[in-house]
Amino acid sequence: MFEKLASIEQKFEDLTNQMSDPEVIADPSKYTKIAKQHREIDEVVSKYRQYKTLQDDLEQANQLLTESDDPDMLAMAREEVASVEEKLIKAEEHLKVLLLPKDPNDEKNVLLEVRAGTGGEEAALFAAEILRMYARYAERQRWKMTVLDSSETGLGGLKEAVAMIEGDRVYSKLKHESGVHRVQRVPQTESSGRIHTSAITVAVLPEAEDVDVHIDMKDVRVDTFCSSGPGGQSVNTTYSAIRLTHIPTNTVVSCQDEKSQIKNKEKAMRVLRSRLLEVEHQKQQDAISAERRQQVGSGDRSEKIRTYNFKDNRISDHRIGYTVHQLDLFMDGEIGDLIEALITHYQAEKLRQEADVA
């Protein structure tokens, strides 16, 4: 591991020098590529250097133990040795995590798909609240979230919605949100006060880039229609909304959030690329169903990854045994602690798998 870290540090130094080279600076494309590589290993090198500093501190403290006769100095040195050794163990574990194989999609933007499952109108209302929760979280992360397409119900719920979230390392933070989200509460439409259980599905797909998947436009049927708002009320009278149908796979994508037909088509193409990339990934994995369906299951209440209990103000993630009683804050987008807990959990799983292989 430490040979690899030393090699990465040397590469970091080489890249740093290249970024100061006038020839590289004069070539924006080359400079951007080198700067990206530099940025990708910056954290690893920083933590490795901290680790080496701790090793020096430990050596000095051990030296003091062997050279000093003063009881107070010896006691201080023993405390220092114990403290630094504990820090070294934590630093080494952190370095192991940083050296894990990177998910190539972690840097990408995502398509967030939210759909009402079991529970009728209550599920649709909850789907709208979950979409808002992610919108508030995106705001906190300084990401940009755009709803590309949605199907609303008469009471303000959502049958389904597709949104694009753009920003720094969006997929790395949201990829564990895919699955069935279950809600337990008294519906607004319930007069007897009985608690109902409903479910929605969430799918998080990395945005595909042009280089990831090629689409032959001869295979795509383009339909235009008038955008519409809640209850079918006309939003504009021009045929600006776009529906794309990829004929070979029968994949259908709609976008109507822009007034411009050209912009709607561009956004619909981004969605289509991501969904077709998903299909390609699934072929490689020899899976029968689409990746999104694997992520979210059927929308049945029993396939939950998380439960939102409003009566007890409780949020529970069943994959990692995480439970807190701050559901009100959670629904307002304060989901960062759970996101980090999930990332840590799956990093630990990867470390165990690496150890088993070794």
227 and 202 in a common domain: no
Q: What is the pTM of this model?
A: 0.65
233 and 165 in a common domain: no
Pick the last residue of a domain from 63, 98, 133: 98
Residue 104 forms part of a structural domain: no
224 and 199 in a common domain: no
Look at residues 91, 213, 78, 230 and name the one whose alpha carbon lies nearest to residue 151. Answer: 230
247 and 160 in a common domain: no
Q: Which runs of consecutive H residues, i.e. helices, occur in the chain?
A: 2-18, 22-25, 28-67, 71-98, 120-140, 170-174, 261-284, 291-296, 327-331, 336-357
The tally of CA atoms less than 13 A away on the side-chain side of residue 16 is 9
Is the sign of the CA dihedral 166, 252, 178, 159 positive or negative?
positive
152 and 277 in a common domain: no
Domain span at 236:
217-284
Is 106 strand, coil or helix? Answer: coil
196 and 143 in a common domain: yes
According to DSSP, residue 101 is labeled: P
301 and 264 in a common domain: no
User: Contact at 8 Å (CB) between 189 and 122?
Assistant: yes
Helix axes 2-18, 28-67, angle to 10 degrees: 130
∠ CA 236-238-242 to the nearest 5 degrees?
100
Q: Which residues contact 27 (CB under 8 A, 6 or more apart)?
A: none
Kindly give the confidence (pLDDT) of every residue in the chain, 358 residues in length, as a single tens digit, with 9 standing for 90 and above: 788 888 888 989 999 999 999 998 998 888 988 988 898 888 888 988 998 999 999 998 888 888 878 888 888 888 899 999 999 988 888 887 777 777 778 888 999 999 999 888 899 999 999 999 999 999 999 999 999 888 888 888 999 999 999 998 899 999 999 999 999 998 876 666 788 899 999 999 888 765 567 788 888 898 888 766 544 444 445 678 888 898 888 888 888 877 788 888 888 888 888 888 877 766 655 443 444 555 555 444 446 899 999 999 999 999 999 999 999 999 999 999 999 999 888 888 887 776 665 5
